[in-house]
Amino acid sequence: MSNAPATESNASSSFLQLSDLTVEYTVEDNVFRALDGISLDVPRQGYTLGIVGESGSGKTTLGMSIMGMIQSPGKVVEGSIKFMGKDVLEMSGREMRNYRGPSVSMVYQSAMNSLNPVMNILNHVVEVIRDHSKNISKSEATERAKKLLTDVGIPEDRFSSYPHEFSGGMRQRVVIALALALNPKLLIADEPTSALDVIVQQQILGLLKKHIVDRGLSLFFITHEIALTEGLVDNVAVMFAGEIVELGPSSKVLFSPFHPYSEELLGSLLNMESNLSTLDRPSAQNESLVPHDLTRACKFSVRCKYAFDRCRKERPLLRQVEKDRWVACHKY
């Protein structure tokens, strides 16, 4: 996929630009493709994108790739990731240290796994600040940490508490504070509300939106629940089997989807019996983990009600079909 879709220009000065990004995992001598030629252009800081798709579609691998955190048995085998003109894949250790946290930060799905059980909440944030700002005093770092925790809704009388003493929602607030501690330009949130009840989920989403707007940040919001993107992000990228199959403004993708897979995701919301479970299931043949030599056809064709002969023989490329909309489907 040689073109990098965006809602604005694909200039070399883009905030973030992915070109033909391909990530493979080697498992028992079998090579599986988790990302298959992803090209994406984020033209400016402040661009917000929801990345949606079922489990195994490549969403988290995409986020980890941007963070420069793909580890064995995974490997970036092709393509580039350029952040403000600098290729992330070619960064030195020092450059990567200055990139993760100060430039791009991530809120992970499991808050408990992101926190040290023997360190109180305040010291978590203080440590992150001091670790990246050697010249800052402990007292100054402490004051900054207190303000951050207050900003995300942690009361002062809980600063000395430990992670196990917090609810899931409170722990997620702490993780958001950690992600914001170094004033990043891009925040990647990977299923940050999946383990929370509906009320707490909405509180966390509201908190995220407030800080994104107040700080002028870019946001990549990764979720299997497409409905959560409404009102939070301006744009939506739908992923299936390691590919972006649709990209456009959230208002259009959510209410008038082009790709058959986008239709399926949205259709499941209307099925009361599914209770959203179909949005978080691996596809029937686990299409995101198919051997790379079997991916020349449209991967969704085995499930697509519109599939015709060409779909089973030729992979559709992501193409611009309207001014601000892109789709990978032979229907268009």
User: What is the band of 8 on the pLDDT scale with cuts at 50, 70, 90?
Assistant: very low
- Mean pLDDT of the 217-224 span: 96
**E strand segments, the chain:** 16-27, 30-42, 48-52, 74-83, 86-87, 104-107, 186-190, 218-223, 235-240, 243-249, 319-322, 325-327
Which residues lie across from 22 on neighbouring strands? Answer: 78
SS3 220: strand
Extract the tokens encoding 205. Answer: 């989403």
Q: Is the pLDDT assigned to residue 214 strictly greater than 50?
A: yes
Q: How far is residue 109's CA from residue 223's CA, in Å, rounded to a whole number?
A: 10
| Residues 285-313 pLDDT 10s | 344 444 444 457 999 999 999 999 999 99
Q: Is the pLDDT assigned to residue 281 strictly greater than 70?
A: no
Higher pLDDT, 93 or 3: 93
The closest of 63, 79, 74 to 32, measured between CA atoms, is: 74
SS3 320: strand
- Mean pLDDT of the 145-158 span: 96
Residue 283's pLDDT is 41
Extract the tokens encoding 305. Answer: 């009600």
C-alpha atoms less than 13 angstroms from C-alpha of 100 in its C-beta half-sphere:
18
Residue 295's pLDDT is 56
Q: Positive or negative, the Cα torsion across 59, 65, 66, 69?
A: positive
User: What is the band of 14 on the pLDDT scale with cuts at 50, 70, 90?
Assistant: confident
pTM for the model: 0.88
Residue 109's pLDDT is 81
Residue 118's pLDDT is 95
Question: What are the CA-CA distances from residue 8 to residues 5, 39, 79, 248 (Å)?
Answer: 9, 14, 21, 11
Q: What does the DSSP assignment read for 271-304? A: -TTTTTGGGGS--TT-GGGSBGGG-SS-GGGGT-
Q: Is the pLDDT assigned to residue 208 strictly greater than 70?
A: yes
% of residues, the chain, pLDDT over 90 = 79
Q: How far is residue 166's CA from residue 112's CA, in Å, rounded to a whole number?
A: 10
Phi/psi of residue 285, each to 5°?
-110, 15
Mean pLDDT (the chain) is: 88
Angle between helices 138-151 and 121-132 (to 10 degrees): 120
Residue 12's pLDDT is 55
Residue 36's pLDDT is 95
Q: How far is residue 321's CA from residue 252's CA, in Å, rounded to a whole number?
A: 13
Which residues lie across from 23 on neighbouring strands? Answer: 35, 76
Contact 316, 299 (CB under 8 A): no
Higher pLDDT, 51 or 275: 51
The closest of 166, 161, 225, 234 to 192, measured between CA atoms, is: 225
